[in-house]
Amino acid sequence: MPYDHLHRPRTARRPLALALTVLASAALLAGCGDGQAAQPGGHTPGKGGGTTGPRTTGGPTAPGDPSPSATATATTAGAGPLAGRTVVIDPGHNPGNFRHTSEINQKVDIGTGRKECDTTGTSTNAGYTEAFFTLDVSHRLRDLLTARGATVVLTHDADRPWGPCIDERARIGNKAHADAVVSVHADGSGTGNRGYHVILPALVKEGSADTTAIVGPSRELGRNIVAEFRRATGTAPSNYIGSGTGLDVRSDLGGLNLSTVPKVFVECGNMRDPEDARLLTSAAWRQKAALGLADGIETYLEG
């Protein structure tokens, strides 16, 4: 659950910031944005991870607390169907956000108003955090896309103490002139609420936000991801958001409002539902999820 992307009433999500970084190591984390508000039965700021599983206060250690500012570095591949294309992957939340609540609670401009920099994200009841989930899936997705020739940029790689904030996440995609941006998340809704959904930008033209040029392309990107995610994972679209379409439109997410390139948020499943949690904590299923995202992105980019 991206904080910025906090849905109308959701459950378990705190303001957290996303960081920008190099798509580095090929090693995949065993666990896997935008500050968002909860939607019906979704994540809400202020809820943290459990007491077991990967520690959300983990993350890279370094002398002092370096500034969360960073320079995006891309991993570029050679030949392949996506050669010459740039994709930005935005892993929802940063494992270090739990230790930097004052920083991630500071509000930033999202065009339509001001919102917390980010949230901590949600977790399964057993303590497997969204921040670890999103990073793991993002690494898998990066590897699949670079193998297909794309240049891939990560907004962060848990290489900074917290963040980046939701507005910075948007700027990273804009600065990269990305052909597509996908923000990876997992929801924190109630038991019985299952399935994935893709959040699309609403038509917003207010303050520093103007999504006029990206609403159409982002919807096409979202539709392709919905179809390919279902094919790759065998799971169904959300039974509690989107009326079975797997699509949801939001005007309250800074990461979407401030984007000038096609961008969507993907809630891969509901971490608070036991059945969905079983899938989300499976490395084999996370690989399928990454494949679904990669196939959806490729289908979109190939027109």
Q: Lowest-pLDDT range, 25-29, 104-108, 120-124, 213-217?
A: 25-29
Distances (CA, A) of 136 to 158, 208, 214, 287: 11, 32, 28, 9
Q: What are the residue numbers of the active site?
A: 267
3-state secondary structure of 130: helix
Domains and CATH numbers, the chain: 3-60+67-301 (3.40.630.40)
Question: Quick one: residue 177, left, alpha or beta (phi over 0 = left, psi -120 to 50 = alpha)?
Answer: left
- This prediction has a pTM of 0.80
Task: Note the pLDDT tens digit of each residue in 256-297.
Answer: 999 999 999 999 999 999 999 999 999 999 999 999 999 999
Q: Residue 134: enclosing H or E segment and its boundaries? A: helix 130-147
Which pLDDT value is given to residue 237? Answer: 98
Which DSSP state fits 3? E
